[in-house]
A and B are shown apart, each in its own frame.
Chain A
Amino acid sequence: MPFDPSLAWDSLPRMLFGLANTVGITALTLVLGLAMAIPVTLARMSPRRIFRLPAAWFVMFFRGTPALILMYLVYYGLAQLPSIHDGPLWPIFANAFACAVIGLALNHASYLVEILRGGLEAVPAGLVEASAALGISPRQTYQWVRLPLAMRYALKAYQNEVIGFTKGTAVVGVITVVDLTATANEVFERTYDPVTPMLTAAVLYWCLINLMRIGFEFADRRLNRHLAAEEQRRRKPVAASLQPALARWTGLAAPNTERAL
């Protein structure tokens, strides 16, 4: 099973097109997922049951359903409903790319709700009280104390989720979207070379994922300056030289066992 460099080179433009689709789906899912997750998180944490319960159901349902099934349901299932098929939104639901994004975003949002909630709940009550005691209004306390801290607490979990679902976008091929995996599969079916296209795709995925990881690490360093500064103060010289290597290792090995795809 030799790797065929000339095939890899020839198929590269198509593979890059597939990669562009993967990136597009990922980016749109991130945005749509966040847009859905924020109101659902607020509802999920509301003291009032009428908000809290539906939000809990949303999370329970979409988190417990594989993204693959969600995409099938959105793309093939909704088309069966006359109100959708004849409704104003049909151009969206007739489009495989849009349905892929919707299916993935529902799944992503349900994870994000729990990540955001975890971050918000991890903010010590004492900090919120201190802010209130200073005469800062609850709304401003939310904006300047709770949310910024919740973001910092949630960043690692968010990174794991985002990188997990990026790799998970490989399932969109089943509803005819030609992403990176689907492109590699096409090349394989055309050439009967199982190694070259898949390895090429793997390298491209690897580049994408690591680019994202670098982005997250940059954000982490910026947001968590206050912790880095403390570490520097406490760290012993020997441990200091080990630290970057360790961080790199744990960053790469960030486990992603929880996702149900």
Chain B
Amino acid sequence: MSGTAPLPAIMIAGLDKFYGGFHALKHIDLEVRRGEKIVVCGPSGSGKSTLIRCINRLEPHDSGRIVVNGIDVNDASSNIQDVRREVGMVFQSFNLFPHLTILENCMLAPRLALGMKKAEAERLAQRFLDRVHIGEQAAKFPAQLSGGQQQRVAIARALCMEPRIMLFDEPTSSLDPEMIKEVLEVMEELADDGMTMICVTHEMGFARRVASRCVFMDQGEIVEIAEAAAFFEAPRSDRLRAFLSQILH
């Protein structure tokens, strides 16, 4: 990297992660530029979730470096808080706080982590709920919404912290088919606005439309990285070819 190149959004170098004796991530190198959209795919157990959970330190890594917008992801709790302020995350199982209304779900982090006033947090939350097209449901509780609606709230909740990077861990995998589209549309709008994104997903249509690059993982390794067209049209490794033929039937 030359001195004039802008700081990468995420720099991962020589990353290793063990669960006990199990080598879950094997020497991962990955650099994500600002505004890039990365789609990560691979078979179950290949380490996709582990990789993105290391980025915001939901999992501590064992060796190697992760730098997010210039902040070293390490043991220092102040660094962890800083990184989590830069990085929003959306989970497969939504994980909305069930005892809080939709609006309160979105207000909690701005109020607690940023010390925002109630009225201001309310305005902010309403703005992002409107942005994911669910503003009129603000007073409801999560259990009153459909899965697709809940996931859009989860996206709004993360956006309320105004992160510069968004991580998605299979955001549509637990949704009924008719709800997948509404969530993907919100994610595409986000991509169009220039958000830096890492999405673990097997939605290949989304990957083709949105991804700057696709990453294929298998058994804790990054096997192949390529631009979307090349990734699908001309996979180089046998493992990716086998994987693609499986998920595209």
A residues adjacent to B (C-beta < 8 A) = 124, 126-127, 129-137, 140, 144-145, 148-149, 152, 223, 225-227, 229-230, 233
Contact = CB atoms under 8 A, between A and B. Distances in A.
B56 A148 contact: no
B119 interface: no
Contacts of A233: 144
Nearest to B141: A226
Nearest to A132: B58
A195 B85 CA distance: 70
A148 B95 contact: no
Contacts of B88: 133-134
B56 A133 contact: yes
Given A129-B95, A145-B97, A152-B99, A134 B144 contact: no
Interface stretch (B105-113, B127-135, B177-185, B215-223): B105-113
Contacts of B24: none
Nearest to A149: B99
B141 A127 contact: no
B165 to A, nearest CB: 12
Interface string B84-128: 110111010101111110000000110011000000000000000
B143 A132 contact: no
B113 A137 contact: yes
Contacts of A140: 112-113
Contact of B97 (A127, A225, A229, A230): A127
B100 to A, nearest CB: 8
B157 interface: yes
B108 A134 contact: yes
Contact of A126 (B84, B93, B112, B143): B93
B161 to A, nearest CB: 6
22 contacts: A126-B91, A126-B95, A130-B95, A130-B97, A130-B154, A132-B84, A133-B84, A133-B158, A134-B113, A136-B109, A136-B113, A137-B81, A137-B112, A144-B112, A148-B99, A149-B97, A223-B99, A225-B141, A226-B100, A226-B141, A226-B143, A230-B143
Given A134-B108, A148-B99, 10 more contacts: A126-B93, A127-B97, A131-B97, A133-B158, A140-B112, A145-B97, A226-B141, A229-B143, A230-B141, A233-B144
Contacts of B239: none
The 6 closest A-B CB pairs, nearest first, are A230-B143, A130-B95, A226-B141, A134-B109, A135-B84, A133-B89
Contacts of A152: 99
Contacts of A134: 84, 88, 108-109, 113, 157-158, 161
Contact of B85 (A131, A135, A148, A230): A135
Contacts of B108: 131, 134, 136, 144
